[in-house]
């Protein structure tokens, strides 16, 4: 269970420490270790968050996984939208290109992020776009492989994901469209929040 993120310093360099509580269940331990593996795998590209290290902090009462990673001082796109209300077209073009480059890198490694949203796209100084949070990411066996399951944040899901149908990396086309247009692609009453403005 994700708890919080701390800002810290390592040898005078700012870092972020993501702290997750590990329940005493084998399946959750595997899930947390999979996220660490994903971060190690994708680290090194300019548009994915840099992973440094991880450790287990244990007390008699609880166990926590501490993941040390790059600190994104610019905040998320959601934070940016709250401050500036709107982003100029050239800014959207730049952010979209950087996000697509990051996604292309993930797809080359046969990884599906499965939770792309404004809160998981952050900025470093000077305005380098970073994809973060690989807790729901899936490793495919090949570029043509498919996966299934409704996971992610409802307003940001493609219809085939919500319907638990099989899908490939191409579902990101809809997500990027939603970010560019600032609204969900579809509206309806079955999921009331899916017609709300999307923060970009």
* Of 69, 72, 76, residue with least CA distance to 50: 69
9 vs 126, which has greater pLDDT?
9
Q: What is the DSSP string of 65-108?
A: EEEEEE--TT-BHHHHHHHHSS--HHHHHHHHHHHHHHHHHHHH
Residue 44 has pLDDT above 70, yes or no: yes
Residue carrying structure tokens 């050239």: 90
**Annotated active-site positions, please?**
115
Burial of 91 (0-12, 13-18, 19+ CB in 10 A): middle
| Confidence grade of residue 167 (pLDDT, cut at 50, 70, 90) | low
How far, in whole angstroms, is CA 65 from its chain's centroid? 18
Q: What is the dihedral of CA 27, 153, 133, 171, to 10 degrees?
A: 100
pLDDT digits (tens, 9 = 90+) for 48-95: 999 999 998 888 888 899 999 999 999 999 898 888 878 888 988 899
pLDDT of res. 87: 83
Q: How confident is the model at residue 17 (pLDDT cuts 50, 70, 90)?
A: very high
- CB-based contact 200:182 (threshold 8 Å): yes
Give residue 125's pLDDT band: very low, low, confident or very high (50, 70, 90).
confident
Rounded Cα–Cα distance for residues 141 and 27 (Å): 21
pLDDT confidence of 136, banded at 50, 70, 90? confident
State mean pLDDT over 102-126.
Answer: 90
Q: If pLDDT is split at 50, 70 and 90, which confidence band does 198 have?
A: very low
Domains defined along the chain, listed by start: 2-70 (3.30.200.20), 77-195 (1.10.510.10)
The values of phi and psi at residue 83, to 5°, are -80, -50
Q: Of residues 196 and 153, which shows the higher confidence score?
A: 153
Q: What is the pLDDT of residue 195?
A: 39
Q: What is the pLDDT of residues 173-194, one digit of tens each?
A: 555 655 555 555 555 555 544 4
């Amino acid at each position: 269970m994700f708890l919080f993120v701390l800002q810290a310093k390592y040898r005078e360099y700012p870092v972020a420490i993501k702290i997750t509580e590990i329940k005493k269940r084998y399946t959750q331990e595997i899930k947390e270790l999979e996220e660490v593996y994903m971060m190690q795998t994708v680290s090194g590209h300019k548009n994915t968050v840099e992973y440094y290290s991880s450790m287990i902090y244990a007390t008699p009462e609880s166990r926590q996984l501490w993941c040390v990673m790059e600190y994104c001082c610019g905040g998320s796109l959601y934070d940016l939208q709250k401050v500036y209300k709107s982003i100029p077209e050239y800014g959207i073009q730049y952010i979209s290109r950087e996000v697509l480059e990051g996604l292309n890198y993930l797809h080359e490694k046969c990884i599906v992020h499965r939770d792309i949203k404004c809160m998981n796209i952050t900025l470093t100084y000077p305005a380098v776009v970073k994809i973060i949070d690989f807790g729901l990411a899936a490793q495919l066996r090949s570029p043509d492989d498919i996966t299934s399951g409704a996971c992610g944040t409802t307003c940001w899901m493609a219809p085939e994901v919500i319907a638990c149908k099989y899908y490939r990396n191409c579902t990101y086309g809809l997500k990027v469209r939603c970010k560019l247009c600032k609204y969900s692609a579809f509206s309806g009453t079955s999921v009331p929040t899916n017609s709300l403005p999307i923060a970009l």
